[in-house]
């Protein structure tokens, strides 16, 4: 279509020229005494057009000739830029391929070429970022080669390349270098240095998932459990883990924090520092209650911490707790039955009556009766539980209590038989 339009335009121009020039009788007379020169108007127009064309071509040729040195300079600069970018790409390729020594050499070559351009007053607009990236590739390769001195030298040069008030895109590169340096420290299990490098990051960068993951690992390595727990919570909110994985990590850290308590007051502070949904986790609540009992805490407080777990276990609408968790709950309640109040006694009896064949509830109810000096009922429940308890430790404990009750009655034969069965249960 375009060719057809051009053809029509040229045809129109040819027709116009033919009409104008074919019947043009005009002349141009030049007087140069004593001479007179007569020229046709068509000839004058052709000479003017030819002269203009020749002058234009001459000027363009002169401009091209004068521009040759500039073009040569641009060509040399382009070749240097291509060589520099090629060296950086080669360094990245070699690093990904595991050829770390070659990668470092290529990165250092890119740095030398960029510095040469800068010294020649031909600095690239993105030269600072390119130099920083090359230093980081060299540092990463040195880290893989376990050359810590060279790695730290390249890292420091990469950080020094970008000032504190640089453009946002350059600041992101600097923050990325600091994050990578923190990961190197974690690879060397140097948690203190990793935390120091993470602490200098801006607030927004420090809350990124990559930074939080590094902080979590560093906190766990340095046994800063409280900080690790707070970081795990943030990672869970950022959906860095699956819900099940996040819950497992938080649960493990909370239990580790509870294990670090050395008196009831400290454990109380830790418990209050946990979030409500964490205190509602059966594993954490039972573990905290057991730890409080081990530290000599108030038995009433132990039972208060165990109450939500107990209600969940006895509620038919709730999913059943695992057997191991139920055993821990029974053991924790068993150790906190001192000064048992009427409310808890009623709860235990109601649960046992609602599930009369549950051996663990029979055992726990028997312990409650024993605390209330209800010897006969305790003996009956211990006898029923001892025959059905699946847990060897609880079964042995039930037989021991039966032996002690038999000794109190003066029934030596029954006591000896119960002691024998307790020993067999422990075997």
User: Please, which pLDDT band fits residue 427 given cuts at 50, 70 and 90?
Assistant: low
| Better-predicted residue by pLDDT, 351 or 133 | 133
Query: How many CB atoms are located within 10 Å of the residue 107 CB?
Result: 29
The CATH architecture to which 80-189 belongs is Alpha Horseshoe (1.25)
3-state secondary structure 5-42: HHHHHHHHHHHHHHHHHHCCCCEEEEEECCEEEEEEHH
Share above pLDDT 90 across residues of the chain, in percent, rounded to a whole number: 16
Q: What is the DSSP string of 249-314?
A: HHHHHHHHHHHT--SHHHHHHHHHHS-HHHHT-HHHHHHHHHHHHHTT--HHHHHHHHHHHHHHHH
pLDDT at 358 over 70: yes
User: Please, which pLDDT band fits residue 185 given cuts at 50, 70 and 90?
Assistant: very high
pLDDT at 21 over 70: no
Which residue from 13, 15, 44 is spatially nearest to 27, judged by alpha carbons? Answer: 44
CATH topology of domain 340-427: 1.25.40
pLDDT at 17: 66
Which residue from 206, 114, 187 is spatially nearest to 148, judged by alpha carbons? Answer: 187
User: What value does the mean pLDDT take over residues 103-130?
Assistant: 85
| Better-predicted residue by pLDDT, 45 or 226 | 226
- Residue 339's Cβ-side half-sphere holds a number of Cα atoms within 13 Å equal to 6
The pTM for the full model equals: 0.73
Q: pLDDT (tens digit, 9 = 90+) per residue, 371-413?
A: 777 778 878 887 888 788 888 888 888 888 888 888 888 878 8
pLDDT at 16: 66
pLDDT at 334: 81
Domain with CATH 1.25.40.10 in the chain: 340-427
Q: What is the DSSP string of 310-374?
A: HHHHH-TTSPPPPHHHHHHHHHHHHTT-TT--HHHHHHHHHHHHHSTT-HHHHHHHHHHHHHTT-
pLDDT at 101 over 90: yes
Strand-strand pairing, 35-40 and 27-32: antiparallel
Q: pLDDT (tens digit, 9 = 90+) per residue, 189-206?
A: 999 999 999 888 888 888
pLDDT at 18: 65
pLDDT at 103: 93
Q: How far apart are CA 57 and CA 63, in angstroms?
A: 10
pLDDT at 22: 60
Q: How far is CA 220 from CA 103, 182, 192, 199, 297, in A?
A: 33, 14, 11, 16, 28
Which residue from 33, 34, 30 is spatially nearest to 44, judged by alpha carbons? Answer: 30
């Amino acid at each position: 279509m375009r060719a057809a339009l051009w053809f029509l335009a040229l045809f129109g121009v040819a027709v116009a020229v033919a009409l104008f020039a074919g019947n043009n009788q005009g002349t141009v007379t030049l007087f140069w005494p004593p001479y007179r020169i007569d020229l046709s108007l068509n000839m004058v127009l052709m000479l003017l057009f030819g002269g203009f064309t020749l002058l234009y071509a001459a000027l363009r040729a002169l401009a091209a000739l004068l521009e040759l040195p500039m073009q040569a300079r641009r060509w040399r600069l382009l070749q240097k830029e291509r060589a520099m970018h090629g060296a950086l790409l080669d360094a990245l390729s070699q690093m990904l391929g595991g050829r770390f020594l070659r990668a470092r050499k290529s990165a250092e070559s890119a740095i030398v070429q960029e510095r040469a351009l800068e010294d020649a007053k031909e600095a690239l607009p993105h030269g600072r970022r390119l130099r920083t990236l090359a230093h980081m590739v060299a540092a990463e390769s040195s880290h893989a080669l376990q050359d810590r001195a060279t790695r730290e030298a390249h890292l420091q040069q990469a950080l020094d390349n970008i000032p504190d008030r640089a453009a946002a895109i350059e600041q992101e590169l600097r923050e990325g270098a600091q994050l990578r340096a923190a990961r190197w420290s974690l690879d060397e299990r140097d948690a203190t240095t990793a935390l120091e490098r993470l602490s200098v990051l801006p607030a927004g960068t420090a809350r990124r998932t990559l930074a939080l993951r590094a902080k979590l690992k560093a906190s766990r390595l340095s046994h800063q459990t409280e900080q690790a727990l707070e970081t795990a919570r943030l990672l869970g909110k950022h959906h860095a883990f699956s819900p099940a994985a996040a819950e497992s990590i938080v649960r493990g850290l909370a239990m580790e924090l509870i294990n670090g308590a050395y008196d009831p007051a400290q454990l109380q502070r830790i418990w209050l520092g946990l979030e409500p949904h964490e205190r509602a986790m059966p594993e954490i609540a039972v573990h905290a209650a057991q730890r409080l009992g081990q530290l000599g805490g108030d038995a009433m407080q132990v039972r208060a911490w165990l109450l939500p777990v107990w209600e969940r276990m006895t509620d038919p609408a709730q999913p059943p707790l695992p057997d191991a968790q139920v055993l821990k709950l029974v053991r924790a309640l068993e150790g906190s039955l001192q000064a048992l109040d009427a409310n808890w006694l009623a709860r235990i009896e109601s649960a046992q009556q609602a599930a009369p064949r549950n051996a663990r509830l029979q055992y726990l109810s028997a312990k409650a009766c024993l605390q209330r000096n209800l010897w006969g009922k305790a003996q009956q429940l211990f006898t029923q539980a001892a025959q059905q308890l699946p847990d060897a430790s609880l079964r042995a404990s039930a037989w021991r209590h039966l032996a002690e009750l038999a000794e109190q009655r003066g029934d030596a034969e029954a006591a000896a038989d119960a002691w024998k069965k307790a020993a067999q249960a422990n075997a």
